[in-house]
Amino acid sequence: MKSRNLSIWVIAIAAMLVLLGPLASQSRGDFVLIDDQWLTANLSHSQGTLYDRSHASIVSGGHVYRLYAYDYSTVNMSSGSVSYLNTYNSSTVDIFGGSVSDHLQAFDSSAVRVSGGIVNDLRSLNSGTVDIFGGSVSDHLQAFDSSAVRVSGGIVNDLRSCDSSTVDISGGSVSDLWALHSSVVTFHGRNFSVSDGLILYGDRVLGTGLLAGEWFDGTPWTVNILANRPTAKILAIPEPATLLLLGLGAVMVRRKR
C-alpha cells in the first residue's frame, strides 16, 4: 500500500514538473527591472525591460534577444550580445565590448556611448545622442530628427545624417558619408584636401568626392562623400591652433599696412 502511494506521488510530481517546465523556462527568459534593481545577464534571455533607475550589465555568456531601456535606466555591455536594443526617455547605454547584431536605436533624449565591440546598425532619433569613441559600426550609423552624433574614434562604415541632425567628427574612421535634408556635418581637423568633384569654399565643403585631412593627433583620414544635398552642410573646421595662427597672421598683415 505504501509503495503504491509512493508511486502515485512520484507520478504526480513528474506530471507537475512536465507542466511547470515550460513556465519556469519562460520566467528565466524574460526580465523586468524597476526602481534601483540591478541584473548581471550572463545567460540567454528572450526579452528584458528596464524602468526607473534600474541597471543591467551584459557580460560573457549573456544574450538578450530584445532589450528596452526607459526612464533613467542604464545598460552596460562589456561582452555578450543583444539582437535588438531600443533606448527611450533619458536612459543610457554604454558599450565596451560584445555585439548588437541587428540594430540599436536611441529615441527621445537617451544617450548611447560606444567605446568597443560591434554594433551592426545604429540609429539616433528625436533628440537622442550617440558618441563613438571606439569599436565599430559595421553597417549604418544614421542620425534622424534633431539628434546629435559625435565620432572621435572607432570605425564607421556608412554614416548618414538626415533631417535636422548634427554630426561632429574629430577622430576615427568614416568610410562613406551621406549629408541629407538640413543636417550639418562638421569635420574638426587640419590639412584638408579634396579630390575632383569637391570644392573647399571657406570652411564649406561643396559637391561629392573624397575629402582628406589629419586629425589633431596627426592621424590621416579620408572619407568618401556620396551625397551632399544643397540644403545640408558639410564643414571642414581647422583645429584651434591653426585658427589662432591664422588670426595672428591677419593681425600682423594689418600692422604692416
68 domain-assigned: no
Q: Specify if 241 maps to a domain.
A: yes
Per residue in 36-90, pLDDT (tens digit) is 999 999 999 999 999 999 999 999 999 999 999 999 999 999 999 999 999 999 9
**C-alpha 76: how far from its chain's center?**
13
pLDDT tens figures, 136-163: 999 999 999 999 999 999 999 999 999 9
Which residue would you say has higher pLDDT here, 58 or 27? 58
Domain-embedded: residue 248: yes
pLDDT score for 239 = 74
pLDDT digits (tens, 9 = 90+) for 165-204: 999 999 999 999 999 999 999 999 999 999 999 999 999 9
Residue 55 resides in a domain: no
Q: Are 52 and 34 in contact (CB under 8 A)?
A: yes
Q: Residues with Cβ < 8 Å from 108, sequence gap 6 or more?
A: 88, 89, 90, 126, 127, 128
Q: How many domains does the chain have?
A: 1
Cα distance from N-terminal residue to C-terminal residue, the chain: 118
Residue among 107, 142, 104 at smallest CA distance from 127: 107
pLDDT-derived band at 255, boundaries 50, 70, 90: low
Contact between residue 225 and residue 212 where contact means Cβ atoms under 8 Å apart: no
pLDDT tens readout for residues 103-132: 999 999 999 999 999 999 999 999 999 999
Domain that includes residue 249, residue range: 98-256
> 3-state DSSP call for residue 8?
helix
Residue 227 lies in a domain: yes
CA dihedral for 99, 105, 108, 113, sign (positive or negative): positive
For residue 42, being part of any structural domain is answered with no
Residue 252 domain-assigned (yes or no): yes
